[in-house]
């Protein structure tokens, strides 16, 4: 069922997940509305990647629910998540280095009708002229930034309703960070919702509608991306009031 702008697209309630007996997420509530860009902030080890893995079905949900539109994703597995419209670009620029750019994109398109694959690949590449020009080159010949663009393009091949990007800018030069975030801004204009994990708070805010902060597996802050007091609120959320000096 189509969802119009402003309606909840992703709804996460009371989510608990972790690794074996180790519980990492403790009752996470989070919403992404249709067409919205939401940034998930938080220190290393907070559970951001674990949260994305649980949302996309790479990790089992131990409690709580995940819904994308009308579809309940919790317990459904990664293929159901993709089919429902959720693409997850995992941390680290993981592409197949022995395959060409186009072959990497074909792998991401494997479950699409054969007749649609080429058009979807071209559509995904249209965001990244710098790798479109290299579509017959091996993944290994791409720079780190270009490999990241290819990883994002792989996520776009499915034409997702929600694209989740886990630290897409990690290890990239400032210019390439801007390129990747520019694509996020473009997706937002086109109405694709994005859940972005990003360490560069100021750059992320510039392309986002809202932010959440996660600390020790719990959401400790939700705010409009443009809130002028966001840096102070983030600091308080991470460290508690003790760390803040009031003049």
**Contact set with ligand ADP (CB under 6 A):** 19, 22, 24, 42, 44-50
Nearest approach, Cβ of residue 82 and Mg ion (Å)? 21
Among ligand ADP, Mg ion, none, residue 47 binds (CB under 5-8 Å by kind): ligand ADP
DSSP 24: E
Dist. CA 92–CA 179, nearest whole Å: 17
Give the E-state strand segments of the chain in sequence order.
Answer: 8-19, 22-33, 37-41, 63-68, 71-72, 86-89, 162-166, 193-197, 210-215, 218-224
Nearest approach, Cβ of residue 98 and ligand ADP (Å)? 26
Query: Which CB sits closer to ligand ADP, 44 or 70?
Result: 44
Among Mg ion, ligand ADP, none, residue 239 binds (CB under 5-8 Å by kind): none
Query: Which CB sits closer to Mg ion, 108 or 164?
Result: 164
Among Mg ion, ligand ADP, none, residue 139 binds (CB under 5-8 Å by kind): none
Query: Which CB sits closer to ligand ADP, 46 or 55?
Result: 46
Q: Which residues bind Mg ion (CB under 5 A)?
A: 48-49
Among ligand ADP, Mg ion, none, residue 164 binds (CB under 5-8 Å by kind): none
Query: Which CB sits closer to Mg ion, 121 or 208?
Result: 208
Nearest approach, Cβ of residue 54 and ligand ADP (Å)? 9
Nearest approach, Cβ of residue 211 and ligand ADP (Å)? 14
> Tokens 């975030």 belong to which residue?
181
Of the candidates 77, 162, 156, the residue with the CA atom closest to the CA atom of residue 109: 156
Nearest approach, Cβ of residue 44 and Mg ion (Å)? 7
Q: Which pair of tokens denotes residue 106?
A: 């074909």
Query: Which CB sits closer to Mg ion, 49 or 147?
Result: 49
CB 104 within 8 A of CB 139: yes
Dist. CA 239–CA 233, nearest whole Å: 10
Q: Give the list of residues 6+ apart from residue 230 with CB closer than 8 angstroms, or none.
A: 201, 205, 211, 223
């Amino acid at each position: 069922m189509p969802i119009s702008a402003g309606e909840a697209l992703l709804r996460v309630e009371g989510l608990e997940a972790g690794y074996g007996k180790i519980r990492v997420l403790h009752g996470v509530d989070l919403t992404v509305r249709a067409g919205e860009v939401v940034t998930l902030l938080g220190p290393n080890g907070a559970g951001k990647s674990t949260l994305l893995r649980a949302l996309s079905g790479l990790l089992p949900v131990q409690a709580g629910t995940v819904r994308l539109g009308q579809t309940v994703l919790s317990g459904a597995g990664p293929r159901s998540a993709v089919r429902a419209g959720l693409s997850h670009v995992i941390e680290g620029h993981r592409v197949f280095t022995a395959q060409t750019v186009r072959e990497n994109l074909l792998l991401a398109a494997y479950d699409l009708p054969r007749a649609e694959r080429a058009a979807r690949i071209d559509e995904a590449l249209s965001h990244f002229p710098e790798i479109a020009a290299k579509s017959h080159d091996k993944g290994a010949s791409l720079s780190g930034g270009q490999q990241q663009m290819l990883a994002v393009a792989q996520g776009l091949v499915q034409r997702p309703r929600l694209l989740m990007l886990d630290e897409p800018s990690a290890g990239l030069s400032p210019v390439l960070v801007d390129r990747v975030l520019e694509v996020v801004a473009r997706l937002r204009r086109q109405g694709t919702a994005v859940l972005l994990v990003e360490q560069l708070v100021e750059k992320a805010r510039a392309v986002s509608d809202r932010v959440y902060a996660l600390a020790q597996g719990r959401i400790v802050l939700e705010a409009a991306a443009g809130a002028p007091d966001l840096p102070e609120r983030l600091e308080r959320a991470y460290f508690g009031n003790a760390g803040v000096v009031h003049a």
